[in-house]
Amino acid sequence: MSEQWLTSLITETPQQGYELAIKMSRMGIKYTQPAAEVREKLRPVYGENADSLIASSQVIAINFQTVSAANNYWRD
Amino acid sequence: MSEQWLTSLITETPQQGYELAIKMSRMGIKYTQPAAEVREKLRPVYGENADSLIASSQVIAINFQTVSAANNYWRD
Amino acid sequence: MSEQWLTSLITETPQQGYELAIKMSRMGIKYTQPAAEVREKLRPVYGENADSLIASSQVIAINFQTVSAANNYWRD
Amino acid sequence: MSEQWLTSLITETPQQGYELAIKMSRMGIKYTQPAAEVREKLRPVYGENADSLIASSQVIAINFQTVSAANNYWRD
Amino acid sequence: MSEQWLTSLITETPQQGYELAIKMSRMGIKYTQPAAEVREKLRPVYGENADSLIASSQVIAINFQTVSAANNYWRD
Amino acid sequence: MSEQWLTSLITETPQQGYELAIKMSRMGIKYTQPAAEVREKLRPVYGENADSLIASSQVIAINFQTVSAANNYWRD
């Protein structure tokens, strides 16, 4: 992918870190299914399925572990 | 999201940390499905499904790993 | 939740830590489905389903990672 | 559980550690479903299901992360 | 596998690290199913299934944790 | 298991570490289903199922986290 979308894992606040984790989770889907129209078609499918939403939250949680460690948990 | 909901990962007690992990897990769902009425409709679906509840507990467990590390496991 | 159920991650032995991980896993379900009668109704469902039992063991394993790290793996 | 089954995470070799991780994974199932005759009945179900076997291997992998860290990866 | 495809976990940027995590995730599938024509046949199946895409993103997230730690989160 | 199959987590290269992670993932299945003829029968089932392949890649990813940490990410 030539687009630069992940130049740093460092964010100013935990919430920005969480939102970066969301972006990372979405990019994992985008790399696997590059066709925007297919992803668009699937959105209502998983958006109204409880288990898909829980699974989405889990991917975000895993990516947020990475971002949090990178930022030393914003403790400094 | 302009609402500020995650300003720190630091909590006073492990239980408050666990409850923050629950909030983080729910926000992962909220970011993915922003429509409150859809999420409301899904609540009885996953709330009465054993596998959905186990999966929810798993997302909480992953987020709690992050919060616990951030708080140095409340050892200090 | 006003009940105090998680005041520390420190336990005397690995087994007590494992049992704390089980409690944490169950609390994740309880926070998501607070109605005791619903949870009671679901118990035979997941208790006789192999995949649900494996998934339960997985949540415990994740929580035990947290408890183990908190206790420095009971090495000291 | 009054039985003492987890007194230490330390093992002599990585393989013993892996086998401890298997025991931990099984105990997670046993605590959730204490009835031996039910677990016995489920064994052929998950034992001949590819996805259940993969999921079992995943739980072992997570527990082995814990055991490996406890043993400092048997590097010393 | 005689092909050398993973000589280092070190990358110059987080994005290159993320793309390495994607490669690692795909190689996990390739080692399990070496037949290219079978994998090719499956691509449209998971590529149009929301839950498969979420699961793919999760595997990438786990591999990215490894790559990020290896690179000390590109902090240096 | 009397066979010695895991005497060390240390490997010379990341790729050898990844291949060790694959072996560990397979051994998790073998310990759970020791009958070779059953495992053999299941191979075409998961080998042609996209979700099973993704799940397999996930188990490998988790085991590779362990192997990578053991090898200090082959940084030295």
pLDDT tens-digit profile of F24-65?
Answer: 999 999 999 999 999 999 999 999 999 999 999 999 999 999
pLDDT category at E21 given cuts 50, 70, 90 is very high
Tokens of C57: 């063991």
Q: Which chains touch D (3 or more CB pairs under 8 A)?
A: C, F
Interhelix angle B14-32/B50-70, rounded to 10 degrees, is 120
Between residues 13 and 52 of chain C, which touch chain D (CB distance below 8 Å)? Answer: 13-15, 18-19, 22, 46-51
pLDDT on residue E15: 98
Q: Is D8 on the interface with C (CB under 8 A)?
A: yes
- Looking at the predicted structure, is the pLDDT value of residue E1 above 90? no
Of B13, B22, B50, the CB nearest to C31: B22
**CA distance to A24, B68, C68, D9, D40, per residue, from B61 (Å):** 20, 10, 13, 21, 29
Expressed in angstroms, the distance from the first to the final Cα of chain F is 34
The number of beta carbons lying within 10 Å of the beta carbon of residue E8 is 13
pLDDT of residue C2: 77
Closest CA to C8 of C24, C30, C25: C24
Give CA–CA dist A75/A72, Å, rounded: 6
pLDDT tens per residue, range A8-41: 999 999 999 999 999 999 999 999 999 999 999 9
Contact A50 B45 (CB under 8 A): yes
Nearest CB to C15: which of D7, D49, D58? D7
Q: F75 and chain E: CB distance < 8 Å anywhere? A: yes
- State pLDDT tens for residues D32-42: 999 999 999 99
Task: Break chain E into its structural domains and give their ranges.
Answer: 36-76
| pLDDT classification of B37: cutoffs 50, 70, 90 | very high
Contact F38 D22 (CB under 8 A): no
Q: How far apart are CA B54 and CA C59, in angstroms?
A: 7
Nearest to F53 among E10, E29, E70 (CB): E29
Q: Please count the helices (runs of H) and the strands (runs of E) in chain E.
A: 3, 0
Residue of A12, A39, A56, A57 to mutate for B, most B C-beta atoms under 10 A: A57
CB contact D57 to C (< 8 Å): no
CB atoms inside a 10 Å sphere around CB F24? 26
Chains C and D touch (3+ CB pairs under 8 A): yes
Contact yes or no for A42 and E61 at CB 8 A: no
Q: Which residues of F48-57 are buried (b: 16+ CB within 10 A; e: fewer)?
A: bbbbbbbbbb
Look at F61 and E56 and tell me if their CB atoms are within 8 Å. no
How far is residue C15's CA from residue F14's CA, in Å, rounded to a whole number? Answer: 34
For residue C10, the chain B residue with the least C-alpha distance is B75
